[in-house]
Amino acid sequence: MSTPHRVVIAVFPDVDLLDVTGPAEVFAVANREMPGRPYEVVLASADGGQVRTFAGVRIATDVTFDQVCDRVDTLVVPGALDAAGAPMIDPDLVGWIAATAGHAGRVASVCVGAHLLAAAGLLAGRTATTHWATAARLAADHPDVTVDPDPIYVRSGKVWTGAGISACMDLALALVAEDHGERLALAVARQLVMYLKRPGGQSQFSVPLWQAPTERRDIDELRGWITAHLTADLSAAALAERMCLSERHFSRVFGKETGATPAAYVEAARVEAARRLLETTDEPLDQVAAACGMGSVETLHRAFRRRLGTTPAAYRRRFRTAA
């Protein structure tokens, strides 16, 4: 019988419960689906005792961090947020992660656990993802990391990073697929009533951040006007004329203040309006497209594919809130 693949999951106070139990459940179901129990899951904490999670549920850990031996096939690093909503970064934990990662076969972070990997220097020069709500912070705190806020998970060499919370199970399924093939991963996904590969990225679930205030009141007023007049001519030329600026100067000022071109901003505003209609109404797609200034269903489809990685119909099926 082959030696089980040893998965060590770091556990610490106020850790997100699902970040720990989600991957553990995936590996446990893989053991049930495959002869020989291919995985050994070990929970490690600073003291080796019970740890209270953010959900209030206490988890009994198996070993202390110091007792984790050199054989770590996969190190899983979950995340936690402090009272202000910022990722928790404990220097002692970061040091242990850095030391353990050196002899681990691979390292995977869950949700905001990516901030711990970055603090440990494991994401430098790599592409990574994290929960969409903290992606901008990760990029700002660690400019040497290329942060992509949309994927459900990203692999960069031996380092994997996962998106927000429930995506921990998608990430774990991908690890099972790498170890034992997609047939086993699919069997596990079926048992867990999950997609093997979730359609679309986490942008579908995010709250748009493009309405953050700028330093110019006239730009903020223009953005409010755009939101209220999505069916108007919102070309850069028309918006520049409304601002009494040349098109070139307007585009430069708008990009500096918002971080987006006028065309990209307008498309984002129209997609957001379409999302709300798809979530709350049964209007046909052509009416949704018209109401949001998209003009045609084809344009609506292209914008959704580009921004959300899904189709309007699939988005409606997933997020429709009322009959």
> What are the catalytic residues?
111
Nearest-angstrom CA–CA distance, 119 and 97: 10
Coil, strand or helix at 52: strand
Give the H or E element holding residue 21: helix 17-33
Which distant-in-sequence residues (6+ apart) come within 8 Å of 274 by Cβ? 288, 289, 292, 294, 300, 303, 304, 312
Q: Do residues 78 and 19 make contact, with C-beta atoms less than 8 angstroms apart?
A: yes
DSSP annotation string for 234-279: --HHHHHHHTTS-HHHHHHHHHHHHSS-HHHHHHHHHHHHHHHHHH
Q: Do residues 159 and 136 make contact, with C-beta atoms less than 8 angstroms apart?
A: no
Give the H or E element holding residue 225: helix 217-228
